[in-house]
């Protein structure tokens, strides 16, 4: 009885199996569907870059207002937008040469604007050492970016050093979120963050100069 009640379904023919495999291969992936929707949308990489710039300007204003925690949040979100615009540009296919130029330019402005607000805060507290460290951090950050761009123009890859853009964002974010008066305990990490930022940017600049010199010298010898 048990054998008579048991039914077995016939396996699909090989042709049907192959047809299903071809259909699965031709089916668009989730990434491809997202890319198509992004292309159809009105969102542009430049709009993302400008949004990040506005958020960083808001963060600078919040630093002046001594609202450090909110300033840190605005700076973090704005910096995340700066990292998304490039990926979105590549994924959506909407990137342009001017968009890449605008993105790099706004990145430098955003960092300088927020650090200028931090310098104004330390100046109001008559902390000349911290103000000098902020100036060094601004110059160092600019030189880190410039040395890479100039090296790449000479045909030398130059990504050495610790003070890359993401690392600088993390250091300054920690300093803002855990600054005195940020309502996250009795911390004062803004000044130490600025000192670390200044030291690392100067060190990275020197590392990149040495790296480019060694690469160009090796190319001349070969």
Q: Which residues are catalytic?
A: 107
User: Is residue 15 classed exposed, middle or buried when 0-12, 13-18 and 19+ CB atoms within 10 A define those classes?
Assistant: exposed
How many other C-beta atoms lie within 10 A of the C-beta of residue 63? Answer: 27
Token match 């963060």: residue? 59
- Tokens at residue 89, please? 């540009």
Task: Give the span between the Cα atoms of 166 and 134, in whole angstroms.
Answer: 18
- CA-CA distance, 134 to 195, in Å (whole number)? 8
Distance CA 141, CA 111 (A): 8
CA distance 170 to 204: 16
The Cα angle at residue 64 between residues 78 and 168, in degrees rounded to 5: 40
Quote the tokens at residue 30. Answer: 């989730």
Residue whose pair of structure tokens reads 């960092």 in the numeric block: 111
User: Which two tokens mark 120?
Assistant: 């104004």
């Amino acid at each position: 009885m048990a054998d008579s009640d048991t039914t077995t379904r016939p396996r699909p023919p090989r042709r049907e199996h192959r047809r299903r495999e071809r259909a699965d291969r031709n089916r668009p992936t989730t990434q491809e569907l997202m890319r198509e929707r992004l292309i159809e949308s009105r969102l542009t990489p430049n709009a993302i870059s400008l949004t990040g710039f506005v958020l960083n300007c808001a963060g600078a204003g919040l630093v002046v207002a001594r609202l450090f925690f909110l300033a840190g949040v605005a700076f973090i979100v704005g910096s995340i937008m700066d990292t998304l615009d490039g990926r979105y540009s590549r994924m959506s296919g909407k990137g342009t040469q001017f968009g890449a130029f605008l993105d790099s330019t706004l990145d430098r402005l955003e960092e300088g604007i927020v650090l200028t607000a931090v310098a104004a805060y330390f100046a109001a507290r008559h902390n000349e050492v911290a103000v000098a460290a902020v100036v060094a951090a601004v110059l160092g950050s600019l030189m880190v970016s410039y040395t890479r761009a100039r090296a790449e123009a000479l045909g030398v890859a130059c990504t050495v050093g610790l003070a890359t853009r993401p690392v600088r964002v993390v250091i300054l974010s920690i300093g803002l979120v855990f600054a005195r008066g940020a309502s996250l305990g009795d911390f004062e990490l803004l000044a130490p963050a600025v000192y670390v930022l200044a030291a690392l940017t100067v060190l990275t600049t020197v590392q990149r100069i040495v790296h480019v010199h060694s690469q160009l010298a090796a190319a001349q010898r070969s």
